[in-house]
Each structure stands twice: as C-alpha cells, then as structure tokens.
Amino acid sequence: MKLCFIGTGYVGLVSGVCFADIGNHVICVDKNLDKINRLNIGDIPIYEPGLSEMVKKNVDVGRLSFSNDLIKSANKSDIIFIAVGTPTSNDGASADLSQVFNVAKTLKKNIKKSKIIVTKSTVPLGTNDQIDKILNGKKKNKLFKVVSNPEFLREGDAIKDFKYPDRVVIGSDDKIVIRTLNALYRPIINKGAIFFASTRRAAELIKYASNAFLATKISFINEIADLCEKANVHVEDVAIGMGLDKRVGSRFLRAGPAYGGSCFPKDTKALIHTSKKFKSQLSIVNSVIKFNNNRNLHIEKNICRILKNKIKNKNVCFLGVTFKANTDDIRDSAALYLISKLSKKGANVKYYEPTGKKDFFDKNEKVKYFSDLYDAIKNNDLIIIHTEWDEFKSLDFTRIKKNNKKVKIYDLRNLYDSKFFQKSNIFYYSIGRPLYA
C-alpha cells in the first residue's frame, strides 16, 4: 500500500520505516527541512538500534522516501498517518494538540480525494471526533475516514515491538476501513499479534490506560522496594514471586529510580486532565504521579545518606543519564532532577553517557561530561549507576578500586548481586535491598 507518515519523530519515523520494511511504499513527511535533508543522506535524528540499517535498506530498494511537501506526499498516498507530537501544554497537564489539528486543517484544505486518516499520535479521548469534524464537517458522506491506531512502541526496542507486538488496536466503526487496516497489518498479525478493533474512543483510552497501568505497576514495585529496604528483604525475590502468577505477570516489575521518558509522565498527567473533563476521579493514577515525583526526592535522600550528608565538593559520577538504556532520550529522566539537586548542593558531577554528551548540562559548570567510561570513573566519592546499559553490567572492579580511594556505588538498576561486594572494599548500595548491604 502507499502510505504517508506526517511527523518523523519517534513514532512516525519508526512506524514508517517498519511499514516500508514489510513491503509498503512509504513517504515520511516533516515540516522541518533540516531533518528531512539529514534523513535523505541517511543521518538518523534518533538513537534506535537497527533503525539506520533499516532506513538504508528501504531507501535503496525505493520503498522509503523523505519529504517536507505534505500535500504532494498525502495526495500520492492511500493511507495518511498523523504522527506529530502531542507534548504537555503550557498548563502543565493537558496534551497540546495544536500540531495534530494543524495537520488535519491542512489536509482538509488541500486533499480532494477520499483517504483513510490514521491517528498514531497519542491523543486524548475525543480527539479523533474533533479531527473528524475538522476534516468532514457535518457531512454524512465522509471523504476522510478517521481511525485511531495507538502506538505501543518502547524506545530502544521499537523495531521488535513494531514487528512482534502483543496487539494491534484499531478504533473505527467503518467495516471497510477495518478490513483495509487488517490487510495492512497482515504480516504482523500472521506472526501472532492480536488484531483488536474497537470504537475510536475506546482505542484512544486503551493507549492512556495502558501507559497509566504500566506506570502504576512500576510505582507499585518501587513502593514495595522502599519497604524491602527497611525490612531486610530483596525486592527481586518479591518481584519474581509475584510475577510467577500469570494474573500479575513479571514484566515492568523492575524497581528503580522514578520512571521517566517522553510518555509515562506526559500521558498520566493528560489522563488526569481528561478525567476531570468527564468529572471522573482517577485517584490511583493521581497517586502514581505523586509517588513518582516523590521518588526522585527519596533517591536524593538516599544519596545524601550514603555520602553522610556531606555533599559539598564530593565527586559524584553518573553512569548513564538517559531515562533508560538503548535510547538517547533524556526527557523526564530521573538524572535531570538528581544531577541538578546534587550540583546545587555543591557536588562535582561527572557523567558518562553511551549516546554522547547532552547539551542540557552545558550551562551547569558543576557538571562535566566524559567520553570514556573509565576516565569518568576515576577519583570519585560515589558512582551512581543510573541506566541499565549493557556496558555497565560487567564493570572492571579491579580498575575501579585502583582508581578510587574509597569507592561507593549506588546502583539504581540492581545490575549486581550485593553478595559479590561483601568481601571487597567497595561499598555497594542498591534499590529495594537492605540499603547498607
């Protein structure tokens, strides 16, 4: 099929490229010409394992192209995907839908042939009704068929998640549209994904409810981890034991720092905003948001305790600053909060990040980037393992001991077994285990 993806952010770019890879002709459109020029020379704006190779392969065979001409690209395509950003608005809560509505208005003005419009951007309950209204007005014979098709990709695992998802959700009550999208997703359905067609509004809510539920699951295990720290229990034992019950499931039960990224913090807030509109109380999601904000403070307090409340002039090294491994995305990463607090308290913060230097810290003279892991690790009072990159999973402790007088490690991802450090002179602290193990 001929597809057009509007928006080459995370969702649009990965989905567009993956759809090309399963045999479709795809044009990825963005209004940012610089981004399109970069994509056209194979310079991929995001870090996603396997994406760059997939772009090259599909461009070479002529199935994938990039353009900043929305109207021409949309006119050439059968299905148009809206995949522009829906960041948090200036009010700090609701989703800013201006980009989505602007695309809809442009399509309405310039496209005169019938098209299927698929909303992949994460949009609150009722947004597709608004898009429909912009595109079709009150006409009964609709030129544009507006469908909700939420995305469940995880950064860092996006290609795998696209090709082998648990489910494909389509929100539409138009049988022909559902059949067309079923055909589009057929190669993925054939590999085991469940195709679930619901109403458009249910599909919108499925996305937010899924993210809010996962955020709740993480916060739940983080709260249990706090109890474990006090009660001399290892949180992994609890998570494994819980996860063996299929009703609970073992995934997303890894205790750690506050969850971050471009989705969970934004989407939980937007869900609360939506619920208020419908005069409904989402007290659980509200508690999760509060708990997650407090989690940063909790970890900060632990760091202070580990450093015996003497933070000034202490050398603290962060291993990884992105919100999780296998991504270069730093949005809403716990490291942003922790580094800012520690540097304000007078610590000299160093960081090593596998995806390179982050401009975000450039203005903070107490924060220094190291491009070499072991250079960063030298002469520290505390090393904080912030993200679970593979290269942090087998650190050279002989070298670490040689380069640091008295080393303390605070492992926020529980990459190591505390027993391993018992007979060494490394002081190892982790999450949801006795704090001073």
Residues at the site binding ligand UGA, with contacts judged by CB under 6 A: 122, 151-155, 211, 214, 218, 252-254, 256, 259-261, 263-264, 267, 323-324
Nearer to ligand UGA, 180 or 265 (CB): 265
Parallel, antiparallel, or unpaired: how do β-strands 167-171 and 348-352 relate?
Answer: unpaired
Nearer to ligand UGA, 97 or 153 (CB): 153
Both tokens of residue 200?
Answer: 């458009």
At closest approach, how far in Å is the CB of 35 from ligand UGA?
Answer: 19
* 3-state helix vs strand vs coil in the chain, percent to 5: 45, 15, 40
| Rounded Cα–Cα distance for residues 298 and 230 (Å) | 13
H-run or E-run covering 26: strand 25-29
At closest approach, how far in Å is the CB of 185 from ligand UGA?
Answer: 16
Nearer to ligand UGA, 271 or 311 (CB): 271
Nearer to ligand UGA, 39 or 214 (CB): 214
At closest approach, how far in Å is the CB of 154 from ligand UGA?
Answer: 4
Catalytic option among 4, 28, 263, 317: 263
The CB density around residue 232, as the number of other CB atoms within 10 Å, is 10
At closest approach, how far in Å is the CB of 157 from ligand UGA?
Answer: 7
Q: List 118's β-bridge partners, or say none.
A: 81, 147
Reported in sequence order, the residue ranges of 44-163 that DSSP labels E, i.e. its strands, are: 64-67, 79-82, 115-119, 144-148
At closest approach, how far in Å is the CB of 159 from ligand UGA?
Answer: 13
| Rounded Cα–Cα distance for residues 147 and 3 (Å) | 14
350 touches 316 (CB < 8 A):
yes
At closest approach, how far in Å is the CB of 289 from ligand UGA?
Answer: 14
Nearer to ligand UGA, 311 or 412 (CB): 412
| Rounded Cα–Cα distance for residues 147 and 9 (Å) | 20
| Rounded Cα–Cα distance for residues 69 and 88 (Å) | 27
Going by C-alpha positions, the residue among 211, 181, 208, 209 that lies closest to residue 196 is 181
Both tokens of residue 398?
Answer: 């002989």
At closest approach, how far in Å is the CB of 166 from ligand UGA?
Answer: 10
Helices 200-231, 283-306: crossing angle, 10 deg rounding: 40
| Rounded Cα–Cα distance for residues 163 and 157 (Å) | 10
| 304 noted as active-site residue | no
366 touches 313 (CB < 8 A):
no
Nearer to ligand UGA, 11 or 74 (CB): 11
Residue type, 262: S
Both tokens of residue 141?
Answer: 């014979």
Nearer to ligand UGA, 251 or 402 (CB): 251
Active site residue ranges: 263
